[in-house]
Structure formats: C-alpha cells, structure tokens
Chain A
Amino acid sequence: MAGTKQSPATASQNPLLSLWKAYNDQTPDRLKFIDAFLFFLMLSGIIQFAYCVLVTTYPYNAFLSGFGSTVGQFVLAASLRSQVNPQNREEFKNVSPERAFADFALGSIVLHFFVYNFLG
C-alpha cells in the first residue's frame, strides 16, 4: 500500500535521521537496489491514484489494472526483499535467494498476464 512509508513521519526529526543513517549503514546494496525499485513503484502508484481521484476514473478497469500492477509488483518485490534479506535467513530455510528470484519472476509474469488481459 502506498501510504505505509509515511508511518514514522509522526516521529520527531531526530529519530528519522537516525533511522535513515541506520538504514544506510546496515542495508546491503542489493536490498537498497530493491528498495529503489519499491520507491519507484510507490511513486507510480501514487501518481496513478492521484490521477484517478483528481481527473477521472472512467476506464475503471484500466485504472485497476495499472494500479493493481504497481501494487502487485510492489508486494512481490517486497516479498523478494524479505526472502533475500540475510536477517530472515532462518525463516526461509527452504528458499534460497536464487529460488526467491525465480519465484518473483514467475509471480510477476502471472501478474502481468492478468494485468494485460484486464487492461481491455
């Protein structure tokens, strides 16, 4: 969901900075790479949603498939992120990073098959 990133915004400035610093220090590069993708997807979703709310919902299926593809891609990428995150190693004993990526690829293909079918 697009709104989730704002949750710590209610905190004061100082913790946010420390959070940013901790994130920069502790996160491996490939996770940062996924996070950049996530951020991009979130922006895309926000723009589409704003367009839908402010301008028109007319081809509603087109909006739903576009928005659904960003949301779906977001959660699939977030799933990939948590699967390859070294911190979660013990949770995903059966899922190697390569397997996680293959799952991600397959999930995205299926998702986009339905998206294109629904664009109409």
Chain B
Amino acid sequence: MPSLAYPVPTDLSPATVKNTASLFRIVTLALISGAAIASRLFSIINFESVIHEFDPWFNYRATRVLASKGFYEFWNWFDPTAWYPLGRVVGGTVYPGLMATSGVIYYLLQALNLPVDIRNICVLLAPGFSAFTAWATYMFTKEMKDESAGLLAAAFIGIAPGYISRSVAGSYDNEAIAIFLLMFTFYLWIKALKLGSALYGTIAAVFYFYMVAAWGGYVFITNMIPVHALVLIFMGRFSHRLYVAYCSWYAIGTLSSMQVPFVGFQPVSTSEHMGALGVFGLLQLVAFANLVRSHVSSQNFQKLLRIAVVAIGALGASAFVFLTYTGKIAPWTGRFYSLWDTGYAKKYIPIIASVSEHQPTAWPSFFMDLQMLMFLFPAGVILCFRELRDEHLFVIIYAVLSSYFAGVMVRLMLTLTPVVCVSAAIALSSLLDVYLNPVEPDEEQDAVAQPAKSGPADAAPSTASSKSTSSTRGIFGIDTRLVVVFNTLWMLSFFVFHCTYVTSTAYSSPSVVLASQGQDGSQHIIDDFREAYYWLRQNTEEDAVVMSWWDYGYQIAGMADRPTLVDNNTWNNTHIATVGKAMSSSEENAYPILRKHDVEYVLVIFGGLIGYSGDDINKFLWMVRIAQGVWPDEIQESNYFTPRGEYRVDENASKTMKESLMYKMSYYRFADLFGGNQAVDRVRNQHAPKNIELGLPRRGVHVRKLDRPYLPSQERGHARAGSEERERL
C-alpha cells in the first residue's frame, strides 16, 4: 500500500465510482453545452434576433425558399434576381447542407406542433450546433487520451472565442455546422482506424458527405486524412486496419461527395482531391504487396516485389503529373493556390485579396482568440509525440497544417481552434493527472516505478527519503500539489473571463445595426442600412435593378428584395469588373453602362459623416483595380492618385477621381450639411469638396431627417445610404 498525499475513501465499490463518474460526465457535458449556447446569445440579448453580416443573408433567403416551397423547388431554384442579366442557378452553385439542416429542423418542429419562425431557427442554429461541436470534441479527445481530457477539450471549444467568432447567434454561415461535422468526421476516422472497422469508415464517409454538402472547407478533410494515412505508411505503420478504414471512407466518401451538384466531378478532376486518390492507389499497392509477401518466403522475390511496388507507385505519380500538365486534371484553384504562394492573390486575383479575412493573421489575434490555449497547444503536441500512437500522429499533422493555414489567412483560424483545444486539453489533463494523483513515490518502489512523470522537478524530494538521497523523484506532500492545482484552476477561470469578455465586446455585434456609445454611456443604434434597404423595398417597383458594390449584394437581395447586378458570390469576375468600371468612370461613360444593364438605382455606402470607415470610398481602389484587370486601357489605378501618389478626396484629388461616379455620388450635397462651414470627411479626415453636381437623371428626392445630421439624399434614380462605423472583419 503506497502512502498517500491526501486521504482517499477506500470503502467505495468500483461500480459506485464508475457510475458516479459517468453521472459527472453527463452533467458536465450538459453544463458545457449550456455555457456554449449561452455565451453566443450576447448579440440577441443586446440587439435583436437578426441575421448578421453579408453571406448569411443569402443562406437565410435560400432557407426561406426551402421552408416555404419544399426541397425540390429549392434544389432546382433558379434565381433570376441575382447577377441581374445572367441570373444564378442556386441549386448548382451552393452548398445546401446548411439550408437542408435548418429546413429539417423547421419541418421537425412543425410536426411537433412547435411553429417556430424560420428566422429564429436560422439565428439559433449556430449556438445549437456549438453544443454538438463540444460533444464531438469530447469524443475525439477521448480517443486521444481519456474522458477527463475530453471534458476539458469540450469545455475549451465550447467557449473559445476563435470558434465563437464564427458561430454567434445570428451568424448563419456554413461554418456554423461545419466545425461540428469536421470534428465528428475526424472522430469517426480515428475510431475506424483504431478498430479497423468498415462500419465506422462508412459512417465517417456519410458524415464526410454531410460536410461536403455543408462547407467548401471539406477539402481540408479530403487532404488531412490522406496525409495521415500517407505518414502512417511511410513510418512503416501500415496495418490492415488502416486499409479497411481508409478504403471504406474513400470509396463511399468520394462517390457520395460527387452527389452535391456544386462539387460535381471535382473529386476526380481537380488537384485538390488528387492526394486522396493517390493515397488510395498506394494503399492498394501496399496491401497487395503485403498479401503476396505472406505467401512467399524468398528474399529475392520480396526485393523484386518491393521494386515493383516502387515502380508502379512512381508510374502512377508520373501519370498524375502528366495529366495535370496536359490539363486533364485541373490545377489548384486560385483560392487554394494563394495559401501556398501567399503573394499570388494580390498579383493576379485582386478579388480574393480584397476580402479582409484573407489577410495573414497577426500574433495578437492568436492570443485574443485562444488566450492560454495558445501556449498549452505546443505542449500538448509534444505530449502526443511522446506517446505517438497512430491517432496521435493525426493530431500532430492536424496541428502543423492548420497552424500554417491559420498563419496565412485570418479566417482559417477557425479550423485551428479545434486542434488547439484538443491539444491544450491533453496537456492540461496530463498535468492534472500527475498533480491530482495522491500516490506518494516511495523508495522501495522507486526501482520499478514508472519513468518519473514529474513535470517541473520538485524542489526538495530528498528530504522525505531517509536512505536513498539520490534516486527518488516525484511529488511529495499536499502543498506542492495544491500550488500547481490552484494555479491551473486560476488559469482556467481566467480563461473563462477572457472568453466571455472577448465574446461580448468583439464578436457579438450584428454589423447590420451599428451601435455607438454616447458620451454619457448611452447607446445609439444606427440603423441606416436597414432604413435604406426598406426604403428600396417599399418605394420602388419590384423589378427595379439596384447596382451596388458586391459586398452589399446579398443584403440588398435579402432585405430590400430587389434584383442586384453583383453579389457576394463572386463567380463572374467580369461582371464585377463592369460594376467597378461604372463606379470608377465619369458620368458620361458610366451612364451607358448603367442603361445597358437596366440599372435604375445605384446604392453607395458613405460613412464620411459619422466616421464609418468601411464605406465605398475606402473600397474604391479595389473597384478600380478589379476594373483595371479587365479594361486596362480605360481604367488606370494611377489616375486616381494625386501627382504625389496620394489617395485624396479633397480639393487636391486627381481629375479622374473627381469625375468618377463614386466620388460624385458620395459627396453629392455633402457640403450642404455643414451650412457654409468647411465640410469635413470624418473617415478620411480631409476637407470634403463643395458643389458636386450630379448630371444623371433623378426623379424625385427622398429626404430623411434624424436626430443627428444625416445625409439626406435618397433619390428616385439614385439611392444612397450613409452609415456609421463598422469594421468588416
């Protein structure tokens, strides 16, 4: 009987301990789900139950179609109002998993006589699925270590801001369900690999299919699992379990992923998916060679066999290379290629570089999103290295790959967060395992004791042992244990405070309504976006085409319900460039373009009055760049700068700039607001120009007055909305 650092009850039967432990687990998971859901509701409680951002508005609109007209109508939905002259085949250009999920929930609740509005289902879908994510992370981490690490990981991912940022209530985006599917597919893959079970492989394939239907980030899974399998093969860890798991996943998963119309034949024709196919072929080779080797004994023959395998592998690889060169296999798309060549997008595809979440991540945002998990993360990875079972390799590869991707692109922080939570939970749980273990090390056992697990070497281990002063290592006494455990608890509770703080301040604002604090702490809500959109909705004909920059396309379609020229689904670069050209040309040149596209309203967001920096003047250079990419003769970026190379809007602005449609529309009668005083643009901190004349036809003027001076021109012919501070992230 080893001596104990603190008394432990000995009269409990193992069954009681087991039952109590599982009760605790259930209660803890329930509490974690509650915390995960509750911490995402700040935006509803502070503002209202409304869809945020830009993309979710399209998802919401599509879900409304699904809920009102049924699944087949949604599947074959052709939307004539988007991309106005062209229209958009929505069924074939969308990942339908998100809409289908909320549609199913909607019909389910209806069947239960709980008639919940579809909007509320859309708003609350992400918090609901975050609870599932916590559970899936628990299951995943349980496979890596044990249940206690799993609970820690579930608690981490339940409240980590890196994941909350994309899943607050109202953020009805694909990521809302995708992270749950990601973690659950990974869990099933690990399970299939461990057991060598085709059942788990099949279920993994089915959830992979769901993931493909839900998010374009499924490519991450498509490459993560093959890389894992490949590393296992190269480390000489090939087993028939790997063969069973991988092949059942790949065969069913690939065929099922092709059922999604948006994906189509890509899994057999694009470079992103070729890794999975290559590893599939390699596995067949290796498995066959294994089979043959089990039947023959001759050394020479085995050598020959190995050579044959290598030769066929090389042949297959060169076939891939050949097919890629001849164009039979499509090369990497720009969106993925820009992850490897980080300067690529800026040079060749300005539309990818123009999105702010495609920028590299700065260090502070790692710490803001993950706080202490960030420094526990490498420790967990190292602990994985120390044990290095097959599934630990998965965590290591996942950690390395997603750290790289998160460093290259801000939005991929999202795929990093789960592995950070898992790995930090492994590290923290290993620490607690050691320091909560009441068994004192003693001299007799020392020779046979397990390799000393003590983390930080204890200060005075030798005082406790009388004879052997040298070899006894470990943790003695309750005080050392308490110091470490209390420190850990303090860190954990501080983590909770940090997460709540970041969530409530940074990630819970619905970007559709803008809140600003008055000097007395009172809150002003600036609701100009929706006012403008509802003005359009109520005061224009139903088929009046609205031209705006593509950022606002989805919101116009969702809130104003009017046809738009371009929207956030940037599939036709030329069409966007047309809008960019119209915005950046002079009125005489822009007017024919507008007429050709039946444009009746032009919507421009101007934030110069109240200092809203995300307005169209600040995005103007991207419009110019995108237009220049298509019409280099007519639009030149350098013309919009002053001779000294500055981007100015005041009197010194270049002639082209002053004549551009965007400039004139933004500053039209802006100076009048200041009643003869010098007009100041609060975003650019420059004097605004006076006497801007708009020559375009205007029918009627709609003037609005608010309690603060407000840009009054919403014109029949040209609507314009002034809006306040909001950073698009």
Q: Which chain A residues have a beta carbon within 8 Å of chain B's beta carbons? A: 1, 3-5, 7-8, 10-11, 15, 18-19, 22-23, 26, 60-61, 64-65, 68-69, 71-72, 75-76, 78-80, 82-83, 85, 87-88, 91-92, 94-95, 99-100, 102-104, 106-107, 110-111, 114-115, 117-118
Contacts and interface: CB of A to CB of B under 8 A. Distances in A.
Given A110-B202, A111-B251, A79 B244 contact: yes
Contact of A111 (B252, B294, B309): B252
Given A19-B296, A64-B255, 19 more contacts: A1-B280, A1-B285, A7-B288, A8-B305, A15-B296, A26-B295, A64-B265, A65-B255, A68-B251, A79-B201, A83-B198, A85-B240, A92-B196, A94-B195, A103-B197, A107-B199, A107-B202, A107-B248, A118-B258
A72 B251 contact: yes
A23 B295 contact: yes
A60 B308 contact: no
Enumerate the 6 nearest inter-chain pairs by beta-carbon distance, A residue then B residue, closest first: A72-B251, A75-B247, A103-B198, A82-B240, A79-B244, A22-B295
28 contacts: A1-B284, A1-B285, A4-B284, A4-B288, A4-B312, A7-B305, A8-B308, A22-B295, A68-B251, A68-B254, A69-B255, A75-B284, A76-B247, A76-B248, A79-B201, A79-B243, A91-B239, A91-B240, A91-B241, A92-B196, A94-B195, A94-B196, A99-B199, A106-B202, A110-B252, A115-B255, A118-B255, A118-B259
Nearest to B254: A68
A83 B239 CA distance: 11
B339 interface: no
Contacts of A82: 240, 243-244, 287
B205, B244, B268, B304, most chain A CB atoms within 10 A: B244
B288 A15 contact: no
Interface string B162-191: 000000000000000000000000000000
Nearest to B265: A60
B470 interface: no
Interface string B228-256: 00000000000111011001101110111
Interface residues of B, number: 48
A97 B251 CA distance: 22
Nearest to A24: B295
A111 B255 contact: yes
Interface in B287-321: 287-289, 292, 294-296, 298, 300-301, 304-305, 307-309, 311-312
Contacts of B199: 99, 102-103, 106-107
Contacts of A79: 198, 201, 243-244, 247-248
B328 to A, nearest CB: 11
Contacts of B201: 79, 107
B87 interface: no
Contacts of B197: 94-95, 99, 103
A7 B289 contact: yes
Given A107-B198, A111-B251, A83 B284 contact: no
A31 to B, nearest CB: 10
B206 interface: yes
B209, B288, B300, most chain A CB atoms within 10 A: B288
B247 A114 contact: no
Interface string B618-635: 000000000000000000
Interface in B256-281: 256, 258-259, 265, 268, 280-281
Contact of B196 (A5, A23, A95): A95
B248 A64 contact: no
Please classify the interface of chain B as helix (H, G, I), strand (E, B), loop, or mixed, using the class held by over half of its residues: helix
Contact of B198 (A4, A100, A114, A118): A100
Contact of A10 (B248, B256, B308): B308
B243 to A, nearest CB: 6
A95 B191 CA distance: 13
A79 B244 CA distance: 5
Contacts of A22: 295-296
Nearest to A102: B199
Contact of B251 (A75, A83, A88, A92): A75
B76 to A, nearest CB: 15
Contacts of B300: 15
A4 B309 CA distance: 9
A11, A91, A106, A115, most chain B CB atoms within 10 A: A11
Contacts of A103: 197-199, 202
B298 A78 contact: no
Given A11-B304, A19-B292, A64-B258, A1 B281 contact: yes
A46 B168 CA distance: 51
A75 B196 CA distance: 13
Given A19-B292, A103-B197, A11 B256 contact: no
A64 B268 contact: yes
Contacts of A83: 196, 198, 240, 244
A118 B265 CA distance: 11
A109 B660 CA distance: 62
A15 B298 contact: yes
Given A79-B244, A80-B198, A107-B202, A11 B288 contact: no
Contacts of B304: 8, 10-11, 15
Contacts of B251: 68, 71-72, 75-76, 111
Nearest to B198: A103
Contacts of B301: 11, 15, 19
A78 B202 CA distance: 15
Given A1-B284, A26-B295, A107-B199, A72 B255 contact: yes
A48 to B, nearest CB: 14
B138 to A, nearest CB: 21
A110 B206 contact: yes
B247 A78 contact: yes
A7 B252 contact: no
B261 to A, nearest CB: 11
Contacts of A72: 251-252, 255
Contacts of B202: 103, 106-107, 110
A92 B681 CA distance: 72
Nearest to B242: A91
Nearest to B206: A110
A106 B308 CA distance: 35
B390 to A, nearest CB: 12
Contact of A19 (B255, B259, B268, B295): B295
Contacts of A100: 198
A88 B288 contact: no
Contacts of B256: 114
Contact of A87 (B239, B244, B280, B294): B294
A78 B295 contact: no
B579 to A, nearest CB: 35
Given A83-B198, A87-B294, A92-B241, A107 B252 contact: yes
Contacts of A111: 251-252, 255
Contact of B243 (A3, A4, A19, A78): A78
Given A79-B243, A107-B198, A118-B255, A7 B295 contact: no
A12 to B, nearest CB: 9
Nearest to B246: A75
A95 B248 CA distance: 15
Contacts of A4: 284-285, 288, 312
B301 to A, nearest CB: 5
A11 B308 contact: yes
Contacts of B307: 10
